[in-house]
Amino acid sequence: MTDAALAAALQNIPENVRDRVAAPRIAGGVLSLVLDATGLSISDRIKLESQVRTGVEGLPGIDAVRIAVTADKVHRTIIAVGSGKGGVGKSTVSANLAIALARTGRKVGLVDADIYGPSQPRLLGSDERPEAVEKTIIPVEAQGIRLLSIGQLVDKDAALAWRGAMATKALGQLLDGDWGDTEILVVDLPPGTGDVQLSLMQNWKPAGAVIVSTPQDLALIDARRAIDLFNKMGVPILGLVENMAGYACPHCGEMSDPFGSGGAEAAARSMEIPFLGRVPLTLAIREASDAGRPPAASDGEEGRAFHAIAARLIERMNQSAA
Ligand SMILES: Nc1ncnc2c1ncn2[C@@H]1O[C@H](COP(=O)(O)OP(=O)(O)OP(=O)(O)O)[C@@H](O)[C@H]1O
């Protein structure tokens, strides 16, 4: 009878989730089994357990059901995106880099931890509010990536007034969100070298950092400071991105270099860090970004720089993992 009851119970579990069931047995009318929820988000895990329970509960020979849910830890690579000062396009680069990485087939998430200007919801054209299950926030989906932003949790002015402890607590909520099978988590940091940066490095150990700078000397001096901090904390610099490098005339497309050219690449060389590439200053990038249409999400000319930078970043990640 027990064998027959067990066979009937397994038959009643939907076929697409049967692979996740292990060690089923019936003893004293209690059906027990192990359910493998590896890679699933909390809400999908709850759905899976309920599907199995609904399938087997009340069948002849089964008085009670005990399900042990297990999950292997998904290996996740955290990439911090920092800059020495504000306004250099760190958020623009983070968003487009995350999208470009996702377009290579990886599962990518973006954490907007910039308490001074959480702009990712606007850049990704998403005004969806994330929900929470069992106090864990579930990222929203936008432009092929998953997103959690401080800007989704509180209004802009509230975040601006935060000091140390509050900002790091918020960072924790974002990073410990329900990222499911996300493989790469890009973290858009506030500019400079403050509590959020320190907390990220101490508590989440990013695999590496990408530094964004403009070609101006001043920005590069600031960038060096950010690089120093990552170095001191033992976080490898994956590379430097030069943003707003050269101005593309919106009429004729001709490039000019109001701030000189090659400065960031030379600086990267002198600091012995990889140069990941440059993104030109163009009206099209600004307009698309402001309209919530990140250039990297389309195949147009403007996205090309970001795709090339993502490809170089992947090479670097592979090298530093080897
Ligand atoms: N390559 C670019 N071409 C044209 N405009 C750009 C480019 N990169 C960024 N911008 C524009 O510059 C402004 C600042 O960019 P962004 O918000 O990404 O900078 P940030 O460094 O994250 O700033 P903050 O530190 O204030 O958050 C935005 O209006 C953005 O659209």
Q: Is 96 in the pocket of ligand 1 (CB under 6 A)?
A: no
The response to whether residue 281 sits with its C-beta less than 6 Å from ligand 1 reads yes
* Atom 29 of ligand 1: nearest residue by CA position: 286
Instruction: Read off the pLDDT of residues 141-150 as tens digits, 9 standing for 90 and up.
Output: 999 999 999 8
DSSP states along 51-90:
HHHHHHTT-TT-SEEEEEEE-PPPP-EEEEEE-SSTTSSH
Neighbours of 104 (CB within 10 A): 13
Q: Closest ligand 1 atom to the C-alpha of 243? A: 1
Predicted TM-score of the model (pTM)? 0.84
What does the pLDDT look like over 175-229, one tens digit per residue? Answer: 999 998 899 999 999 988 888 899 999 999 999 999 999 887 766 788 888 899 9
Ligand 1 center–CA 91 separation, angstroms: 7
User: What is the number of H-type helices and E-type strands within the chain?
Assistant: 13, 14
What CA–CA distance (Å, rounded) separates 6 from 291? 57
- C-alpha–C-alpha distance, residues 177 and 225, integer Å: 30
Nearest CA to ligand 1 atom 15: 89
Task: Find the 212 Cα to ligand 1 centroid distance in Å.
Answer: 11
Q: What gap in Å lies between CA 274 and CA 211, rounded to an integer?
A: 10
Q: Which domains does the chain have, with CATH numbers?
A: 2-70 (3.30.300.130), 77-321 (3.40.50.300)
CB of 244 shorter than 6 A to ligand 1:
yes
DSSP alpha helices (H): ranges in 73-216? 90-102, 120-123, 150-153, 156-160, 164-175, 195-204
Nearest to 176 by CA among 141, 204, 155: 204
3-state secondary structure at position 277:
strand
ipTM > 0.90?
A: yes
Can you read off the two tokens belonging to residue 80? Answer: 């911090």
Q: 10-residue block means of pLDDT along the chain (322 residues)?
A: 86 92 93 91 88 94 93 86 92 98 97 88 94 90 95 74 78 92 94 88 93 82 88 93 83 75 83 92 92 93 93 90 66
Q: Are 69 and 35 in contact (CB under 8 A)?
A: yes
Q: For the chain, what percent of residues have pLDDT higher than 70?
A: 95
